[in-house]
Amino acid sequence: MSDPNDDVVIRVRGLVNQFGEHRVHDGLDLDIRRGEIVGIVGGSGTGKSVLMRSILGLRTFDEGQIEVLGVDVRDAPFRERQLMKKSTGVLFQDGALFSSLTVGENVEVPIKEHYPKLAHNIVYELALLKVKLAGLPADAISKLPSELSGGMRKRAGIARALALDPPIVFLDEPTAGLDPIGAADFDNLVKTLQSALGLTVFLITHDLDTLYTICDRVAVLADKKVLVNAPIHEVEQFDHPWIQEYFHGPRARAAQQQQARIGDASAKAV
């Protein structure tokens, strides 16, 4: 199915997900290209998390085909699927850190799982590197998640998602529960990681500021499909009631104005 020369790193075709009588996805297609931050939006219950879990191989979908980095997430041999797993880092909505482990130990979990023979001091150094990459102070490595603020816990989650240097990361509502300054800081971190590491980012969000500030494309889930997957200014023009309400309501206008102010400030700074 995939052309090795194209730059699509996640390819979803004809995806169907159904729970009993309830069909959540019905023939959903989606392409995500290397190095892009793609915001996944849609009303509550439109199946954003189910889509993410399907791509990650955490849910057995009912029909369709999904490839990540050219590997069929369902039908490829076990070894290839394991390699694919190493190539994807995930930050779940609640952070999903082990509460009884320190931040460093949390980051070490995937490293130890995939490289069980690595010397302890090297595992520690790698974990420290990821903690710093996520913008945490070095001493956060020995803290328990409960000793950190919400924003710092999200950063610890990012450090763990980056533990194995994956080229693709999945973020589920990363700015939910953060105050506006914390959310903007987190957006900056994601953007910086994208440019520094060339990361591809699959980003589920309801946060309009995030969509306007850092997303290269926005994919809208509605009517059991991806309605549109395009730069935000094209998405805004798409003729669909949910899109019109979402992108032209008062919250969207505030986000657009904020984005225009940022644009003006950077133009003046040049």
Ligand X SMILES: Nc1ncnc2c1ncn2[C@@H]1O[C@H](COP(=O)(O)OP(=O)(O)OP(=O)(O)O)[C@@H](O)[C@H]1O
Task: From 245, 255, 248, 203, select the one nearest 222 (Cα to Cα).
Answer: 245
Closer residue to ligand X in complex, CB, 88/106: 88
* Residue 222 DSSP SS3: strand
Closer residue to ligand X in complex, CB, 61/186: 61
φ/ψ of 170, rounded to 5, equals -115, 125
Smallest separation (angstroms) from ligand X to the CB of 87? 23
Smallest separation (angstroms) from ligand X to the CB of 189? 22
Q: How far apart are CA 81 and CA 57, in angstroms?
A: 9
Pairing of strands 200-204, 225-230: unpaired
Smallest separation (angstroms) from ligand X to the CB of 251? 16
Closer residue to ligand X in complex, CB, 44/121: 44
Closer residue to ligand X in complex, CB, 20/250: 20
Smallest separation (angstroms) from ligand X to the CB of 41? 9
Q: Which amino acid is at 221?
A: L
How far from chain centre, in Å, is Cα 185?
16
Q: How far apart are CA 152 and CA 158, in angstroms?
A: 10
Q: Is 139 within 8 Å of 181 (Cβ atoms)?
A: no
Rounded to whole angstroms, the maximal C-alpha distance in the chain is 57
Closer residue to ligand X in complex, CB, 54/200: 54
Smallest separation (angstroms) from ligand X to the CB of 18? 9
Smallest separation (angstroms) from ligand X to the CB of 35? 25
Q: Where are the alpha helices (DSSP H) in 115-179?
A: 120-133, 150-161
Closer residue to ligand X in complex, CB, 141/203: 203
DSSP at 80: H
Number of H helices, E strands in the chain: 10, 10
Residues that bind ligand X (CB under 6 A): 19, 24, 42, 44-50
Q: How far apart are CA 72 and CA 80, in angstroms?
A: 9
* Residue 224 DSSP SS3: coil
Closer residue to ligand X in complex, CB, 19/78: 19
Smallest separation (angstroms) from ligand X to the CB of 127? 30
